[in-house]
Chains A and B, each alone.
Chain A
Amino acid sequence: MSYILLFFSAMAAQWLWSSQFAFWGLAPQLLLVLTALVAAYRGPILAMCLGFFWGLFLDVSSPHLFGANALALTMVGYGTGSVRRQIDVTGAGSLSAVVFLMTWAYFLLLGVLGLVFMEGFLWIGWPSFLACPFYNVILVWVVAVAPPFIFLGKSRN
């Protein structure tokens, strides 16, 4: 039940933030951050499921490719889950580093999918490419003390 609540409230928060409170057109990617957080604390399977459907939501609400965000967020969940098996990613520092790198990986994957399925590389622009990873890292620190984090739990299973 709590995951369903997380699923819908995260979508609402992402939409609200990106459409109403974007700062110079830049907004943190809450869904990406949450996918990485879920993967870090609850494992890749749940993260991939949530990431895939969050991605579909982003695809529906984006004028670009349909399916690109779903694949990219699934990969974020999978990637973070794979890293989790090697190192402890529940620490704030390591989690920030993972989210930072996953953000760039996410952008590059979207770009490559654009290259394959559209006419050219789907480039989000330098401001987003450079600023969003930092924005997301800040969000990691904010979300880590927010209610969704509480039910995710701090213990690794």
Chain B
Amino acid sequence: MQREARIANYFLAVFGIISLTLLSLPLSGPVRVFKACLVYLSDPAAYRGAKGVEKIADVPDRIRGLLAADIENRLMREEVKEASWARAEAQALKAENERLRAVLGLKASPGYTSIWARVLERDPLHWYHSFMVDAGQKDGLALNAPVLGKGAEGLSVIGRVVEVRPRSSLVLLVTDELSSVAAHLSSSTVEGLAQGQGGARLIMNYLSEDASLTLGDLAYTSATSATFPPGILIGRVARVFPRDPFLTFQSVEISPALDSGRLSEVLILKRQGSP
């Protein structure tokens, strides 16, 4: 037994030193590639989830690109599966909505189709005013078509088309002084008018005097908006102005949900029936 214990101690020392050496040494590129590929082939679940790509951060670029593309592909397949169910559900709800509208004798809301367009150019002198997109009359765009952007919180308002050319269009941003959108806040049903200021933020005026306004409230387009479909996110309340005794309404400052300066693609809605 004593002899066995002594030998075991030697073995522990040897294996311990080897293990600690392996732990201390940085792995060479080919070894990291081999390890990452082997793990990925044997158990792709190890790389699933949001932190999956982080685990291959130390793998050389080309292999990391391949693995990251496959991980992304798997995630997107799952998203597509979920989206197909959401789409079926939305279609069923739409059909139900139309049927109920018909029963109540309400006018049917206009349907929309959409088109993605790339942002072509921005005028540095009018950064918060407008930009050009690569879709125009030939793509079926019309004046005042709503322009949306996709961010982490889903679709949000970017602006509207104010000039249509054959293959391009000018989009007036909601942050422009000439822009205004009928909107409501998430915490209440009070409506107001979100108006561009020519800067990064909007001011939402005409909110009821009695409404309680809180920071972080979300502002959505209202059903009374002439341009935008209802329920599209505009932004978040960034500041509540103190009540002015000379005014009959309250105002808040809105921080747009998406920075239009970072967008490279936008979604433009076309009324159904337009070419």
Contacts and interface: CB of A to CB of B under 8 A. Distances in A.
B19 A61 contact: no
A52 B42 contact: no
Interface string A9-20: 000000100110
A70 B43 contact: no
Contact of A63 (B19, B22, B55): B55
Contacts of B39: 60-63
Contacts, number: 84
Interface stretch (B8-16, B172-180, B181-189, B243-251): B8-16
**Chain B: interface secondary structure?**
helix
B56 A78 contact: no
Given A61-B39, A66-B27, A44 B4 contact: yes
A113 interface: yes
Contact of A113 (B15, B23, B38, B42): B23
B27 A70 contact: no
A114 to B, nearest CB: 10
Nearest to B2: A85
Contacts of A43: 4, 8
A52 B22 CA distance: 12
A44 B12 CA distance: 10
Contact of B4 (A45, A60, A70, A113): A45
Given A61-B38, A61-B42, A66-B23, A85 B15 contact: no
Contacts of B206: none
Interface string A53-64: 001000111110
A117 B11 contact: no
Contacts of B4: 43-45, 81
B24 interface: yes
Q: Kindly name the residue among B12, B16, B35, B38 whose own CB sees the greatest number of chain A CB atoms within 10 A.
A: B12
Interface in B70-108: none
Given A44-B4, A45-B4, A78 B12 contact: yes
Contacts of A59: 22
7 residue pairs, one from A and one from B, having the closest CB atoms: A67-B22, A71-B19, A67-B23, A44-B8, A63-B55, A74-B15, A19-B43
29 contacts: A15-B43, A18-B43, A19-B43, A43-B4, A44-B4, A48-B12, A49-B11, A55-B19, A59-B22, A60-B35, A60-B38, A61-B38, A61-B39, A61-B43, A62-B46, A63-B47, A63-B56, A66-B22, A66-B35, A67-B18, A67-B20, A68-B23, A70-B18, A71-B15, A74-B16, A78-B11, A82-B8, A85-B1, A116-B23
Given A67-B19, A70-B15, 9 more contacts: A19-B42, A25-B45, A44-B11, A45-B8, A65-B23, A66-B27, A70-B18, A74-B12, A82-B5
